[in-house]
Amino acid sequence: MPYTLIIFDLDGTLADSFPWFRLHVNAVAARYGFRQVKDEDVERLRHASTREILDFLAVPSWKLPFIARHMRRLKTAHAASIPLFAGVGPMLDTLAAHGHQLALVSSDTEANAREKLGPLAALFADFDCSASVFGKARKFRRVLKRARLAPHDAIAIGDETRDIEAARAAGIACGAVTWGYAAEKALRDRQPDYVFERMEEIVERLTSLPAGQDAAPV
């Protein structure tokens, strides 16, 4: 198999949380004094990097930890109402059956992640959660260290430009899914190792390469 360890993001990758985010973001904006998100802003923001989004919303960096904690508390109250994307269960089951180790790195709490995943949480060997906005690279390294694996043994799969940046910083491969927060073009412009347009592609692409063979650029 090409990768021993597959590290997943949660929101926008496994969990369909964007509708929930749109429902609550402006109340959070009013509470913390950043720019409201209008319907006409959404597509623009989906094509922007995380730093560009924060600049557009006029969110000072010192407020980010407070906003993140508040969002986690909101998710705790609504976690049961945020569904997984269709096909997540069979995809994770198949990867585990092929011998891949699964890990989850998320900005959400581990408790919220486990509630969203339900019985599928048992498939994951490691959880490293409550990541800061730009803190995933450090968590990727910690997961690798606990698994006693080299960077070339792992791939991180997410739906935002910052997921790609974090994987690059940690020296691991990256895959981007097109059904989450960021627009497909924004993801492809950053040249991830894989772009997945369908949930089934994750299994098709990651279980078909012979051991030691690198992925072709996408």
Tens digit of pLDDT for each residue in 173-205? 999 999 999 999 999 999 999 999 999 999 999
Tens digit of pLDDT for each residue in 19-37? 999 999 999 999 999 999 9
Residue with tokens 């994951």: 124
Tell if the pTM clears 0.75, that is, is over it.
yes
Helix or strand (DSSP H, E) at 109: none
Please report which confidence band the pLDDT of residue 2 belongs to, taking 50, 70 and 90 as the band edges: confident
214 has pLDDT over 60: no
Looking at residue 133, its pLDDT comes to 87
- CA distances from residue 196 to 177, 187, 206 in whole angstroms, order as listed: 5, 10, 11
Q: pLDDT above 70 covers what percent of the chain?
A: 94
- Mean pLDDT, rounded, for 151-158: 97
Domains of the chain: 5-16+84-206 (3.40.50.1000), 18-81 (no CATH)
Please report which confidence band the pLDDT of residue 208 belongs to, taking 50, 70 and 90 as the band edges: low
Looking at residue 140, its pLDDT comes to 98
Tens digit of pLDDT for each residue in 28-74? 999 999 999 999 999 999 999 999 999 999 999 999 999 999 999 99
Which contacts (CB < 8 Å, 24+ apart) does range 165-168 have? Answer: 165/50, 165/137, 165/190, 166/134, 166/136, 166/137, 166/140, 167/137, 167/140, 167/192
